[in-house]
Amino acid sequence: MFITNDIKYIGVNDHEVDLFEGQYVVPNGMAYNSYVIMDEKIAVMDTVDARFGEEWLAKLEKELDGRLPDYLVVQHMEPDHSANILNFANTYPEAKIVSSAKAFGMMKNFFGTDFADKQVVVGEGDTLSLGKHVLTFVTAPMVHWPEVIVTYDSADKVLFSADGFGKFGALDADEDWACEARRYYIGIVGKYGAQVQALLKKAAGLDIAVICPLHGPVLTENLGYYIGLYNTWSSYQPEEEGVLIAYTSVYGNTKKAVEELAEKLEKGGCAKVVVNDLARCDMAEAVEDAFRYSKLVLATTTYNADIFPFMREFINHLTERNYSNRTVAFVENGTWAPMAAKVMKAMLEKSKNITYTESGVKIMSALNDESRAQLDALAAELCR
Ligand code: FEO
């Protein structure tokens, strides 16, 4: 893959992974990106997942065309990128390893060695000259681990952005960028909005023509679009006007209420209505939708004097990612002592800038005239 005259792609596509990072379904696989910068000195940017060591080293060898690499730059120590560091060091024993002090500590934990004889420790603003290309390192703690650095090459105006601007999906998947980048961002980095904002501020001072992330496609055009989405996501602002109804239903009565509410919202002119059955959908997709839209309806049953487990899991995903700045409504169902709304509201207690609707819906087993009237009032309020 052509990136610039001197920068070559040597990453791999993974269509075998069952769950990325042990929890995310990736129907179109995953890409572990790696790059090589060919200059008077040669730098390799990160390695790839353990299962692709041979393929990666073969791609690297082809690009090297008989030369030897001088540096391996390790931007991030999560094993999807770091697993082949030892493999690389054994294959190219003369090459130095360039990384943050924290990353070398992690190498000791992962590999039993911190490569003391090969270390080049870099921090904020440090540079490494390859000849024409001078790399500047920028610390990016918690995007997505504490040791992360990103790297700017001023010669070709390339930002190597580590996990930032990554997405789910192999590079041969033909799919919308934003959909799988959003699910990836919210799921994996969503908790660290403040740190992403800090990185965006540093990046704003750089003249960037190309973004080379560790997952997903290399971004070469319309960079303002991608940076704008990252700004929206990391500042916890809704991306779109719309309502997500997230629900669980045991015997179908709560589901019926949700279906009627969705119909009323659509008839009432709500811009966009999305419905997710939390027991059956991809939980990461539902979490992504909650952060995407401006309004959220939580509908669930009372269960063990608490709420249905999938709803508890969902709300936990939201609160641990700093869910805020949204409108929230509750629909509760309970046959003898409904208390789901109270439990859900308590779970959101620490969430900032949540506006709760005045209308709520209480179903005592199945919809009746009273609860239907509450649905009407809620739909009217949400569409207002
Ligand atoms: Fe792609 Fe945080 O590793």
What confidence tens digit (pLDDT) does each residue in 79-138 have? Answer: 999 999 999 999 999 999 999 999 999 999 999 999 999 999 999 999 999 999 999 999
Are 184 and 233 within 8 A, CB to CB? no
Cβ 81 under 6 angstroms from ligand 1 = yes
Please name every residue paired with 322 in a beta bridge, in sequence order, or none if there are none: none
What is the rounded average pLDDT of the residues 363-384?
Answer: 96
User: Is residue 244 pLDDT above 90, yes or no?
Assistant: yes
CATH number of 242-383: 3.40.50.360
* Mean of pLDDT over the chain: 97
Q: Does residue 70's CB lie within 6 angstroms of at least one atom of ligand 1?
A: no
User: Rounded to the nearest whole angstrom, what is the distance from the C-alpha of residue 371 to the centroid of ligand 1?
Assistant: 46
| 14 in Cβ contact with 51 (< 8 Å) | yes
Query: Which residue's entry shows tokens 């931007």?
Result: 75
CA of 144 to the centre of ligand 1 (A): 7
- Give the containing element (helix H, strand E) for 160: strand 158-160
Q: Decide: 291 and 321 in contact? Cβ < 8 Å.
A: yes
Q: Map out the domains of the chain as residue ranges.
A: 7-234, 242-383
Q: Chain-centre distance of CA 270, in angstroms?
A: 28
Ligand 1 atom 3 nearest Cα: 78
Q: Whose CA is nearest to atom 1 of ligand 1?
A: 163
The pLDDT of residue 1: 77
Beta strands 127-129 and 273-277, pairing class: unpaired
CA distance 359 to 159: 48
Q: Considering only CA atoms, which of 137, 140, 124 is closest in space to residue 194?
A: 140
Q: Is 163 in the pocket of ligand 1 (CB under 6 A)?
A: yes
Q: What is the pLDDT of residues 39-63, one digit of tens each?
A: 999 999 999 999 999 999 999 999 9
Give the SS3 label for residue 42. Answer: strand
Tokens of 82: 């770091």
Q: 32: which strand partners?
A: 12
Q: Is the CB of 215 under 6 A from ligand 1?
A: yes
Architecture of domain 7-234: 4-Layer Sandwich (3.60)
Angle made by CA atoms 291, 296, 298, in degrees to the nearest 5: 120
Residue with tokens 């890409």: 31
> Is 22 exposed, middle or buried, given 0-12, 13-18 or 19+ CB atoms closer than 10 A?
exposed
The amino acid at residue 244 is L
**pLDDT computed for residue 96 by the predictor:** 98
pLDDT tens, position by position, 298-341: 999 999 999 999 999 999 999 999 999 999 999 999 999 999 99
Coil, strand, or helix at residue 318?
helix
Ligand 1 contact via 144 beta carbon (within 6 Å): yes
